[in-house]
């Protein structure tokens, strides 16, 4: 099924707008509207992206900023980035955050979650032939990226 990743991302941004404005977080989108569709399960991709954007909102303090972008890379991939300037992830935790029930040591207590979101997101993206990974620096922020093959 062809689906528009740009539209999925915009829908999530609209849906989460009350959370963002409640925390005075600026959500900046770079989502071109002439992107090619991917062949994917819209509900699944939406669920994966919702966790990334939800995490960015959860782990970024008031007045932070989130940047969401999607672009074509190479010949046949879309690259989605969800970047925040929040608390970041400890170096020791970074290799484990995509494991089930794994939560970062500095996140427990104040922010609720089950530690399943990224494991599910990884399953979904892999099943669609894409990859998902993260870059982060404690105290500076995190960037989550995933690719999806273009339908052709």
Indicate whether 115 belongs to the interface with ligand ATP (CB under 6 A): yes
Q: How far apart are CA 26 and CA 21, in angstroms?
A: 8
Indicate whether 25 belongs to the interface with ligand ATP (CB under 6 A): no
Contact 55, 48 (CB under 8 A): no
Q: Choosing among ligand ATP, Mg ion, none, which partner's interface includes residue 36 (Cβ < 5 to 8 Å by kind)?
A: none
Indicate whether 104 belongs to the interface with ligand ATP (CB under 6 A): yes
Strand order in the sheet with 65-73: 26-30, 65-73, 77-84, 141-149, 132-137
Contact 148, 38 (CB under 8 A): yes
Indicate whether 64 belongs to the interface with ligand ATP (CB under 6 A): no
Indicate whether 55 belongs to the interface with ligand ATP (CB under 6 A): yes
Indicate whether 86 belongs to the interface with Mg ion (CB under 5 A): no
Q: Which residues of this chain interact with ligand ATP, rule CB under 6 A?
A: 51, 55-56, 59, 84, 86-89, 97, 102-104, 107, 113-119, 142
């Amino acid at each position: 099924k062809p689906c528009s990743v740009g539209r999925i991302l915009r829908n999530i941004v609209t849906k989460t707008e009350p959370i963002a404005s409640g925390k005075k977080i600026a959500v900046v989108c770079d989502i071109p509207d002439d992107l090619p569709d991917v062949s994917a399960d819209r509900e699944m991709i939406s669920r994966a992206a919702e966790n990334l954007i939800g995490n960015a909102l959860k782990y970024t303090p008031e007045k932070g900023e989130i940047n969401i972008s999607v672009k074509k890379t190479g010949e046949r991939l879309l690259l989605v980035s969800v970047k925040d300037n929040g608390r970041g992830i400890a170096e020791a935790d970074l290799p484990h955050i995509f494991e089930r029930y794994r939560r970062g040591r500095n996140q427990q207590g104040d922010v609720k979650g089950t530690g399943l979101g990224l494991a599910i997101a990884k399953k979904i993206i892999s099943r669609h032939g894409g990859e998902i990974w993260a870059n982060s620096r404690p105290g500076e922020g995190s960037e989550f990226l995933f690719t999806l093959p273009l339908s052709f």
